Amino acid sequence: MQNVTKVFGSGDGTVHALRGVDLAVSRGQVTAIMGQSGSGKSTLLQVMAGLEPPTSGHVLLGDDELSTMNDEDLTRLRRTRMGFVFQAFNLLPALTALENIRLPFLLAGRSIDADTERWIELLVERLGLRERAEHRPQQLSGGQQQRVAIARALATRPDVLFADEPTGSLDSASSRDVLDLLRSASDEWGQTIILVTHDPVAASTADRIVRMSDGRLVDDWAGGSAESIAERMLEAGAR
């Protein structure tokens, strides 16, 4: 991202959500974006993921410029090269767990080749969802739903996976579980992950942490334990 700004509204109600953000995310790493609510971290995620156009500046995925793409191209880009994990899980209630995992391929109108089929099989196995594949989301616990969502996000082997407060609706055991899965996706398969969170425990899985405040990046370090992250955040808050 180069010098990205995002302004909502105009006149008196103008909100400068992003005030010139420069950020380069490295391939294969887990990058956590932290900050208090209203700091602009959610807007940053939306702009990076092509869900909202920036007001100015450039957003690039590899060599592709997102900021100039039309809605159709962005949509195709999202379904082939990006994965999403949300706080609210956001599985489709009308589809089974397995159908949810295969959804990106259905949307793309692509048949699933044997290689991808094996990949999905592996994901289902590794995420402990085999017994639950035919269940509807309503029949699954929060932790299980989030694991399905992670499988859905990984199924297309995206260039980048965006996780927005993925543990925000989970108990601590399920949270641990989900974070371990994201971590191992990065370690084993080199998955690039951008994790938006305000939880130091979640951020402790990251290789790098950037902190936002008032629409700007104000801190950037290699992370560490949950305690050290919490301390650094507290110090920043006290200043």
Q: Under the rule (CB under 8 A), what is the footprint of other proteins?
A: 42, 45-46, 49, 51-52, 71-72, 75-76, 78-80, 84, 86-95, 99, 103-104, 106-109, 137-138, 145, 152, 164, 169
Rounded least distance, CB 47 to other proteins, Å: 10
Distance of CA 122 to the CA centre of its chain: 21
Rounded least distance, CB 110 to other proteins, Å: 10
| Total Cβ atoms within 10 A of residue 171 | 12
Nearer to other proteins among residue 14 and residue 138 (C-beta): 138
Nearer to other proteins among residue 30 and residue 77 (C-beta): 77
Rounded least distance, CB 227 to other proteins, Å: 27
Please answer whether residues 67 and 46 qualify as being in contact, where contact means their C-beta atoms are separated by less than 8 angstroms: no
Nearer to other proteins among residue 14 and residue 37 (C-beta): 37
Nearer to other proteins among residue 104 and residue 223 (C-beta): 104
Please answer whether residues 134 and 98 qualify as being in contact, where contact means their C-beta atoms are separated by less than 8 angstroms: yes
| Total Cβ atoms within 10 A of residue 116 | 16
Torsion sign, CA atoms 97, 159, 23, 57: negative
- Compute CA distances 216 → 3, 16, 18, 35, 228, whole Å: 10, 10, 6, 10, 22
Rounded least distance, CB 58 to other proteins, Å: 20
Nearer to other proteins among residue 164 and residue 177 (C-beta): 164
Distance of CA 213 to the CA centre of its chain: 19
Nearer to other proteins among residue 60 and residue 107 (C-beta): 107
Measure the CA–CA gap between 193 and 105, rounded to whole angstroms: 21
Rounded least distance, CB 136 to other proteins, Å: 9
Rounded least distance, CB 63 to other proteins, Å: 21
| Total Cβ atoms within 10 A of residue 155 | 21
Q: Which residues contact 9 (CB under 8 A, 6 or more apart)?
A: 15
Rounded least distance, CB 41 to other proteins, Å: 11
Nearer to other proteins among residue 94 and residue 222 (C-beta): 94
Cα–Cα–Cα angle for 230, 31, 155, nearest 5°? 125
| Total Cβ atoms within 10 A of residue 81 | 16
